[in-house]
Amino acid sequence: MSVPVLTTGKLAMPALGLGTWPLRGRDCEAAVESALGLGYRHIDTAEMYGNEEAVGAAIAASGIARGEIFLTTKIWYDKPDGASFRAAFAASLERLRQPHVDLLLVHWPSPALNLPSVLTALAHLHAEGLARAVGVSNFPGALLRQALALDIAPIACLQVEQHAMLGQQALLDITQPAGIVMTSYTPLGKGEVLEHPVLTGIAARHGATPAQVALAWLLSKKLVAAVPKAASAARQAENLAAAKLRLSEADLAAIAALPKNRRFVNPAFAPAWDSPDA
């Protein structure tokens, strides 16, 4: 099963990847091995997930050439300056048993974030080849614009929650013209949005599943990738097959018309999100 690759001047990312939160240990290793066996070539992990060792072990065990796999990690928000960010990333690379990652993200902005300092660290890690591409996650529009205006690091990706009930149009209006890939996290809405009758109806018409419809809607957008998490090979295969589902204009419009205000990931330390949540 071949997945389209989103190619910009700054990265080449398979549009569908495997999310690994909250898998850990042997379960994570087995899930990543299974996904790689099915044809996934994009794996999403993070320092905070506590599974980088398992992800690294699965990649090593797969026997797949490292250059064929797109590996993302993220550094947690308690490293708000360049020095602590760099040190944490060095430890991530060790746990992953990797000389580099394909994408390194600032996981969340924190109120203590020293933006120029962390962007400078990203720029250096990129220049040193330790992070082939760099970006940010959970940045609201104003902060993303600020990071882009500083022009310190070559921001290639914004990873945010995005699904049929949270469209993130305001952020897409920034990322798409800037040639920045948006990676959708929680693309299945934790499984909850899949019960919506609009999704189940479209799925039935296509002989597809609601998860495939939810993912195909995201992948229909310019420069959008998605990292659904699935522990079992059956669901991983189901999600991967979404890459070949083509929805009609009417299907896309029906999903676009759903309310876009459902946010599943909103921890106490989250920034003030853009309003309205388009």
Residues that bind ligand NAP (CB under 6 A): 19-21, 44, 107, 137-138, 159, 185-191, 194, 209, 211, 227-232, 235, 238-239, 265
Instruction: Give min distance, CB of 189 to ligand NAP, in A.
Output: 6
State the nearest-atom distance from the C-beta of 227 to ligand NAP, in Å. Answer: 5
If the CB atoms of residues 82 and 210 are measured against ligand NAP, the closer one turns out to be: 210
Report the run of H or E that residue 255 belongs to, with start and end. helix 249-256
Q: Of 40, 49, 77, 185, which one is the catalytic site residue?
A: 49
Among residues 119 and 227, whose Cβ is nearest to ligand NAP?
A: 227
- Name the minimum Å distance from CB 38 to ligand NAP: 13
Closer by beta carbon to ligand NAP, 57 or else 208: 208
Complex with ligand NAP: residue 20 or 120, whichever CB lies closer: 20
Cβ–Cβ under 8 Å, residues 5 and 15: yes
Please return the burial class of 100, using the count of CB atoms within 10 Å of its CB with bins 0-12, 13-18 and 19+: middle
Residue 278 identity: A
Of residues 130 and 165, the one with the C-beta less far from ligand NAP: 165
Which parts of 35-149 are beta strand (E)?
42-44, 70-75, 103-106, 134-137
Residue 213 CB, shortest distance to ligand NAP, in Å, is 10
H or E segment and range at residue 6: strand 5-7
Minimum CB separation of residue 138 from ligand NAP in Å reads 5
Minimal CB distance residue for ligand NAP: 19
Is 49 considered catalytic here?
A: yes
- Separation of first and last alpha carbons in the chain: 32
Measure the CA–CA gap between 256 and 258, rounded to whole angstroms. Answer: 6
Pairwise CA distance, residues 278 & 274, whole Å:
9
- The answer to whether residues 101 and 94 touch, using CB atoms and an 8 Å cutoff, is no
Q: Which residues are catalytic?
A: 49
